[in-house]
Amino acid sequence: LIWVLTESISICRQDRPKMARNYVLLMAILVTCCWATMSKAEYVKYKDPKVPINLRIKDLMNRMTLEEKIGQMVQIDRTVATNEVMKKYLLGSVLSGGGSVPAKQAPVETWVNMVNDFQKGSLSTRLGIPMIYGIDAVHGHNNVYNATIFPHNVGLGATRHFNIIFSHIPSRDPGLVKKIGAATALEVRATGIPYVFAPCIAVCRDPRWGRCFESYSEDPKVVRAMTEVIPGLQGDIPANSRKGVPFLGGQNKVAACAKHYVGDGGTTLGINENNTQISRHGLLSIHMPGYYDSVIKGVATVMVSYSSWNGVKMHSNRGLITDFLKSTLRFRGFVISDWEGIDRMTTPPKANYTWSILTGVSAGIDMIMIPYNYTDFIDGLTFLVKKDFIPMTRINDAVKRILRVKFVMGLFEHPLADLSMKKYLGSQEHRELAREAVRKSLVLLKNGKYANQPLLPLPKKAQKILVAGIHANNIGYQCGGWTIEWQGLSGNSTAGTTVLSAIKSTVDRGTEVMYQENPSSEFVKSNKFSYAIVVVGEHPYAETFGDSLNLTIPEPGPSIISSVCGAVKCVVVLISGRPVVIQPYVPKVDALVAAWLPGTEGQGVADVLFGDYGFVGKLPHTWFKTVDQLPMNVGDSHYDPLYPFGFGLTTVPSKAT
């Protein structure tokens, strides 16, 4: 290039008339040479989507410094993330914790702009490794205003049907949860987010656990069937794929996360984050099967449980994380901690943070959900590696897994989001799907005080009916925890249809619907109602805040049942995340429906109450008589339930008014 430039100057001096022509010719040669050189210099193997992923990973890792590798292992909350933070600390991931949103009722544009701003910080680094943004989407895109909120997992676990002859064997139709997974993926992608912390495949063995509503069932066979939500979220893994390798079917899908590994649903007394005391055989046969299916279906990530197994914290359990999950099951995605998971390995949390980092990373955790004090973690892990407490082979394994997921997701080719999928958030099609899920999740526990005198389906045409209960006109109560806020909210916190609104839109135009949240028995008697619908249940909660040793329905629920059902024919619709104490009220009511936590589409409740569709749901959990029986699961020697696992009365759809 220097020679070409020198010659061009020389020629121009010798023969000025030819200067212009020669100058143009030689400059063309110069530009061509420069372009060829630049093109050769710019080709980077890891950025070439035509190169096999393993070679892209190898090429990129060979270029990475220790600082860049450790940065990939860090996940921080959006509240402490900025464009500059992502660039300066070379961070691999950002998340929205429960209720962590860019603004109250933030529209799609605000979400997309926030995620893209963080991403641009990552892309501006030396190697331009894109970050991955994750969010809890445990029953739809539940952090986001106006999203479709599906029934919580406990309700979806009721949607499977049972073989009539062999009632203990679920004959499963996984299509519904798969459709819900696909719909959730579209709504999450609409906000620019490619990764969800779902599904929860815990096997809840004690309803006193505050996360029981996140569990599909007490039966591992049902939970295994419900892992079909993973192909819904991620896409169907090709038939010839290597088992255990993460998969994503396109930019309308999201990376999933099977959680919480493992045994979180079996803790003593159902206490959240407590100790699961069980033999290895029991752990592998009850709590592990869902992970077998999840890995086979190409789940991208696995989240570790806060809980312990026989006194050993799962975040420190190398035997189960590295030896079993990664080696025996050949899981090739990445393992992520829970929120402040390594902090909580000690009591009090972070009491010996250096030990926690050493133990957690050595156990096989690849990405740490820190989520705030990220510099402490970076400094601590850097020290441990440089002092040879943690070998580079362990760091390389973690980073290789993280990069594999990012390459599989197409993040290097499609790092930035746009508004092209905005139409999917809260779409009518998704709301109709949620309404279908509500209908199929309802479990009819009682229908008439006498078997030959059923109350349901209710007549649409009546002179006057009463709707009562604090849950009848409350979207927040219908949805439960993990909705808009971590602990959920009371009131109409997002767009949807309350049970009351659904009833009003379903009954005959000539039927008067009167709503009283907590009516007196005198009021009920004096109004001569044709019948009453009482909607009561639990208040929203999540995680430890939902732990309950008594499992009673909070007041005024029991009082409303007594005052209304003692004065008029009534059906009680119970809104709860688990079986609760109802034995004292069963004799007082004419009909009893377990509606679980149905989400935003309350119309699904009315569809079945009034006979447009029949009741088909079956109990995914044993309904106990008293809490003294707990834990009690199907197959136990002391099994004596109020309603057994798999129970559920049916009705035939009716056109009668």
State the catalytic residues: 338, 543
| Dist CA 30 CA 182 (whole Å) | 53
The 8 Å CB, 24+ separation contacts for 161-167 are 161/616, 161/618, 162/618, 162/646, 167/646
Q: How far apart are CA 101 and CA 91, in angstroms?
A: 20
CA distance 329 to 261: 13
For 128-180, give the DSSP string.
-PPPEEEE--SSBSTTSTT--BPPPHHHHGGG-EE-SSSTTSEE--THHHHHH
Q: Which of 439, 433, 460 is CA-nearest to residue 533?
A: 460
The number of helix segments (H) and strand segments (E) in the chain equals 22, 19
Q: Measuring CA to CA, which residue among 93, 175, 189 is closest to residue 141?
A: 189
Q: Which residue has the tokens 């899920």?
A: 437
The 3-state secondary structure of 475-540, one letter per residue? HHHHHCCCECECCCCCCCCCCCECHHHHHHHHCCCCCEEEEECCCCHHHHHHHCCCEEEEEEECCC
Main-chain dihedrals φ then ψ at residue 176, nearest 5 degrees: -65, -50
Q: How many CA atoms lie within 13 A of 445 on its CB side?
A: 28
The CA-atom distances, in angstroms, between 449 and each of 445, 533, 568, 643 are 12, 16, 13, 16
Bridge partners, 575 (sequence order):
537, 596
d(CA 445, CA 394): 53
The angle formed by the CA atoms of residues 282, 284 and 289, to the nearest 5 degrees, is 125
Residue 635's Cβ-count burial label (10 Å; 0-12, 13-18, 19+) is exposed
Instruction: State the Cα–Cα distance between residues 276 and 270, nearest whole angstrom.
Output: 9
Residue 111 in contact with residue 421, Cβ under 8 Å? no
**In 19-82, which ranges are continuous DSSP H helix?**
19-42, 53-63, 66-72
d(C-alpha 180, C-alpha 188), whole Å: 12
Task: Enter the tokens of residue 46.
Answer: 């890891």
List all residues 6 or more positions away from 367 whose beta carbon is below 8 Å from its beta carbon.
72, 73, 74, 75, 92, 93, 301, 334, 335, 336, 337, 398, 402
Q: Which two tokens stand for residue 557?
A: 């629920």
List the 334-336 sheet strands across, edge first. Answer: 257-261, 301-304, 334-336
Q: Give kind and range of the element (H or E) at residue 296.
A: helix 289-296
Residue 74 pairs with which residues in a beta bridge? 368
Q: What's the distance, Cα to Cα, between the start and end of the chain in Å? A: 90
At residue 645, the 3 state secondary structure works out as coil
Edge to edge, what strands does the sheet with 591-596 contain?
443-447, 591-596, 570-575, 531-537, 464-468, 512-516
Beta-ladder partners of 368? 74
Cβ within 8 Å of residue 516, ≥6 positions away: 466, 467, 468, 523
